[in-house]
Amino acid sequence: MKRFENKVILVTGAGSGIGRASAVRLAAEGGKVWCTDINEKELKTLVDEIETAGGTAFAYRFDISEVGAAERCVEDCVGQFGGLDAVVNMAGILRFSNCHELGLDIWEQVIAVNLTGTFMLCKAVLPELLKSKGNIVNAASTASLQGLPWGVAYAASKGGVLSMTRSIAVEYAKRGVRANCVCPGDINTNMAQGVTFPADADFDLLSRITSLTGAKGPEVVAGVIAMLASDDGCHITGEHIRVDGGILA
C-alpha cells in the first residue's frame, strides 16, 4: 500500500516505540516523514533506516513541552517538505507513584509533556491542516478510559488528550480537518519497560493494565495509526480506537 504518496506527516516521539514504528510504517507507504523527538541519536538511526529502505524522512529535535517550539517545528517542516497533511503525536512520558506521594513537580512535568505539549502542537498544526484538509492522530491510552493505579497524573493527562481531541474534531469537522486518538495498552516499548512501581504496590491491580492476549510490539498500533491518518479513515473523526489486546473489552 502507498497511501501516503505526496503526503507529509509530522511524527512526535519518533525516537522510540509507537512513534518510531509509525514513522517507519508511514515512510514505507510513501509518506515524507518529519521525525521529531528530544532523543537526537535515536532520530538519526531512524532516518538512516528509513532512507536505506528507500523512504524519505528528516530528523528534527523538538521538545513538545517547550513553549514556542511547536510553531518553529511546523514552520521548518513546511519549509523543507512543502506542506503538512497529517500529525501523529506520540511523544509522552509515564511516571508511577502512589497518589499521596506524588510530587507537584512530577504532576506538572507529566501534564506539560502529555497534555499541554499535545495542545501546543495541535494549535500550531491546525492552520496547515486547514489548507491540506489534513488530520491529527493523538496518543491517548486505556488510562483515558479507566482508572490507572499509581498513575493519576498520567491518567489525567490522557483523559485530557481524549477530550481535547474530540473537541478539535467537532470544531473543525465542517472545515475538513479530522482528529482521532489511539488508546494503546500493553505495548512493549521503552515506556512499558521503564516503569517502576511503588514499593508497596498491590499487584492484584496489575490486571487492569495487562492484556488478555499478551503484550504486543508497537507496530500493531502503527498499523491503526496509518489507517486513521490515511484516506481509509476519511469518515472517522472524534474517535478513539483501543489497541489493547482486550484490556477494556
Ligand X SMILES: NC(=O)c1ccc[n+]([C@@H]2O[C@H](COP(=O)([O-])OP(=O)(O)OC[C@H]3O[C@@H](n4cnc5c(N)ncnc54)[C@H](O)[C@@H]3O)[C@@H](O)[C@H]2O)c1
Q: Which residues participate in catalysis according to the annotation?
A: 154
Task: Read off φ and ψ for residue 57, nearest 5 degrees.
Answer: -155, 160
Mapping DSSP to helix (H, G, I), strand (E, B) and coil, where does residue 73 land?
Answer: helix
Applying CB under 6 A, which of residues 27, 32, 37, 155 lies at the interface with ligand X?
Answer: 37
Bridge-based pairing state of the strands 178-184 and 135-139 = parallel
Tell whether residue 151 is a contact of ligand X (CB under 6 A).
Answer: no
- Our CB check for ligand X shows the closer of 21 and 129 to be 21
Q: What whole-number distance in Å separates Cα of residue 185 and Cα of residue 151? A: 14
Applying CB under 6 A, which of residues 149, 151, 218, 245 lies at the interface with ligand X?
Answer: 218
Tell whether residue 192 is a contact of ligand X (CB under 6 A).
Answer: yes
> In degrees, to the nearest 5, what angle opens at C-alpha 30 toward C-alphas 29 and 34?
105
Q: What whole-number distance in Å separates Cα of residue 204 and Cα of residue 223? A: 32
Tell whether residue 186 is a contact of ligand X (CB under 6 A).
Answer: yes
Cβ contacts of 15 within 8 Å, gap of 6 or more: 35, 37, 38, 39, 41, 42, 43, 46
Tell whether residue 87 is a contact of ligand X (CB under 6 A).
Answer: no
- Which amino acid, 128? E
- Our CB check for ligand X shows the closer of 13 and 134 to be 13
> Taking the complex as a whole, how short is the minimal distance between the CB of residue 1 and ligand X, in angstroms?
23
Nearest one of 244, 2, 53, 52 to 146, comparing CA atoms: 244
x-marked contacts with ligand X along 67-86 as a string, rule CB under 6 A: --------------------
Query: Which residues, in sequence order, are bridge partners of residue 137?
Result: 88, 180
Cβ 146 vs Cβ 207: under 8 Å = no
- Our CB check for ligand X shows the closer of 137 and 169 to be 137
x-marked contacts with ligand X along 118-147 as a string, rule CB under 6 A: ---------------------x-x------
Tell whether residue 106 is a contact of ligand X (CB under 6 A).
Answer: no
Tell whether residue 205 is a contact of ligand X (CB under 6 A).
Answer: no
Binding site for ligand X (CB under 6 A): 12-13, 15-19, 37-39, 62-65, 90-94, 113, 139, 141, 184-187, 189-192, 218
